[in-house]
Structure 1
């Protein structure tokens, strides 16, 4: 397993990170992702660790805390050999202070996550979504308080727009507080919007990118393609996935099927290997309902695509950027080169 530096920090993280949203199945939504119990989770953690995948990503909102509880049980006795990332910000109850990233919520949520995980520190604590109601300065001071107290090692964000992230980075510099070291984003062969602004921003500002849903909500699992609708037992057949226009999906799956036949690698392995080769990617969060899925996904870390294969994948998945990015690309491409 390759280890990569997380943004401008000194922390080394594995290129592939095990996501634990499948742990628990404690709500109707997350039950469609998976229902991994503590025994099964422990086996997956063992398998991942043996492959060099020593970082695990969760969130307080995954099955209303059950994912954190199960992960905590699975890593008990070996916590200090592993990296744990979790998040806060999504709704955890009906109260007005049960959602968002106000100082009171961040600190209370961190304490709750520490208890559920059975640990006294979190390696990477991430704000799960931007809260436009709370001042950015307040969020940064709360994260700094947790860092000084030794409860979190590093802070990151997730699902921010470019101006949200830049505003937080600028505020951290102005206040002399630690910057977010990472941004967890939605990115895959069928969803490349991240490249238009967030990718160059991360490279410019040394913010490491962690990718969630690199297989587009199971649509790039190899079970779906032209004239192959999502099987009834697939997550992609439920509302717990992300919409992708059929023409875009099939242009990509047609090529992935062809490359799988050419190389002997599986469709998800090729899709993950493409993601690992993109600029600024510190790590990709993979999920698995069972050991076979996890082994298959972990094998992507050892695959190197050829320049021709990458070019074919880039072409098949290319889309016209939103304004003003198409204008920059068309009129000032020499001054706005793509990230490399």
Structure 2
């Protein structure tokens, strides 16, 4: 496994991030534990989760599964760079005041609740799952500074933030003498490249590591048409790839992508991950395997080098938006 530093920090993390969103809803506890063991065996030390994973009435279940794995000992916690997130309401009914978003009150409650579920005394990277338009950054950083001083949080990151949110957050942190955001977790893959306009440039300028989520775009880049042809239905757990393929233009694009990779003897999912690993500013994509076999395929992508010819061909099939402001101005 290859490693890199997370943004401008000294923290070394694996080039693949183990996503745990399927733990609980799709993968039971025993198999989730086996996947985490396999991740460590492969050298993956960066695990990502969120307080809401488990979904619906089972929000928090994923963190509990990770916590029960840590409780087995054997250096599991010490070898893991643990990232989780907070923002959303954790209940299933109406939102009671101060039970969601990023007020100092909710941040404190959310962190303590995650620590309990995860059975640990600290979170290595605490990420804001979404931007809170109603809470000033001074308040957010005051809450985070206290948690850092208490040793409950080591680093802070963002998720699903715009470029100007990253700038505003880190300029506020700079005035306060805080480290600020060190990572941004955003939707980014071959088929969805809008982050290249402003989010990724802002992240790179402020020294944030970029952690792409949905690197296969809901399964669309994982050989969806081939799986459909072979009887798999081309469906993911959400069915997003099947829905997308009903669009003729998208289907033609994905077919061209699969034909290109067949020509080069490459697996689509592995090539999509390798493309992200070669992008400037990317720390590592989040992979969410439901099985050990899917994890092994993702690990193979870290050893894959795409030729310049292939990269140009991929750009022709999935053209990026180009830099801003040129992408939307003269």
TM-score by length of 2: 0.90
Residue 75 of structure 1 deviates from its aligned partner by: 3.0
Q: Which residue of 1 aligns with 2:185?
A: 184
Distance in 1, matches of 2:89 and 2:238, equals: 25
On the 8 A contact 1:226/1:250 being kept in 2, the answer is no
Q: Which residue of 2 aligns with 1:257?
A: 258
Distance change in 2, residues 1:97/1:228 (3 Å): farther
On the 8 A contact 2:107/2:143 being kept in 1, the answer is yes
Q: Which residue of 2 aligns with 1:84?
A: 82
Residue 115 of structure 1 deviates from its aligned partner by: 0.5
Q: How does 1:166-315 map to 2 (within 5 A)?
A: 166-224=167-225, 231-232=232-233, 234-235=235-236, 238=239, 246=247, 249-315=250-316
Distance in 1, matches of 2:263 and 2:234, equals: 28
Distance in 2, matches of 1:137 and 1:229, equals: 54
Query: What is the CA deviation profile of residues 215-235 of structure 1, one whole-angstrom value per residue up to 9, with x for unaligned ones?
Result: 111222213369859945832
On the 8 A contact 2:166/2:203 being kept in 1, the answer is no
Distance change in 2, residues 1:233/1:322 (3 Å): same
Distance in 2, matches of 1:277 and 1:232, equals: 30
- Which moved further from structure 2: 248-257 or 62-71? 248-257
Query: What is the CA deviation profile of residues 263-302 of structure 1, one whole-angstrom value per residue up to 9, with x for unaligned ones?
Result: 3331100010001100100111101111111111121111
Q: Which residue of 2 aligns with 1:45?
A: 36
Distance change in 2, residues 1:278/1:239 (3 Å): closer
- Which moved further from structure 2: 227-236 or 78-87? 227-236
On the 8 A contact 1:58/1:67 being kept in 2, the answer is yes
Distance in 1, matches of 2:216 and 2:197, equals: 19
RMSD over aligned Cα atoms:
2.4
Distance change in 2, residues 1:92/1:263 (3 Å): same
Query: What is the CA deviation profile of residues 233-268 of structure 1, one whole-angstrom value per residue up to 9, with x for unaligned ones?
Result: 832663699968835633542343234323333110
Distance change in 2, residues 1:11/1:267 (3 Å): same
Residue 177 of structure 1 deviates from its aligned partner by: 1.4
Unaligned runs of 5+ in 2: none
Query: What is the CA deviation profile of residues 298-331 of structure 1, one whole-angstrom value per residue up to 9, with x for unaligned ones?
Result: 2111100001111111121015569844245xx4
Distance in 2, matches of 1:227 and 1:288, equals: 20
Is 1:58 the counterpart of 2:52? The answer is no
Residue 195 of structure 1 deviates from its aligned partner by: 0.2
Distance in 1, matches of 2:242 and 2:49, equals: 17
Q: Which residue of 2 aligns with 1:17?
A: 17
Residue 183 of structure 1 deviates from its aligned partner by: 0.4
- Which moved further from structure 2: 56-65 or 319-328? 319-328
On the 8 A contact 1:14/1:55 being kept in 2, the answer is yes
Query: What is the CA deviation profile of residues 103-130 of structure 1, one whole-angstrom value per residue up to 9, with x for unaligned ones?
Result: 1111111110010001111111101000
Distance in 1, matches of 2:189 and 2:245, equals: 11
Query: What is the CA deviation profile of residues 57-102 of structure 1, one whole-angstrom value per residue up to 9, with x for unaligned ones?
Result: 0000111100100111123312101111000002212312221011
Q: Which residue of 2 aligns with 1:4?
A: 4
Is 1:163 the counterpart of 2:164? The answer is yes
Residue 191 of structure 1 deviates from its aligned partner by: 0.3
TM-score by length of 1: 0.87
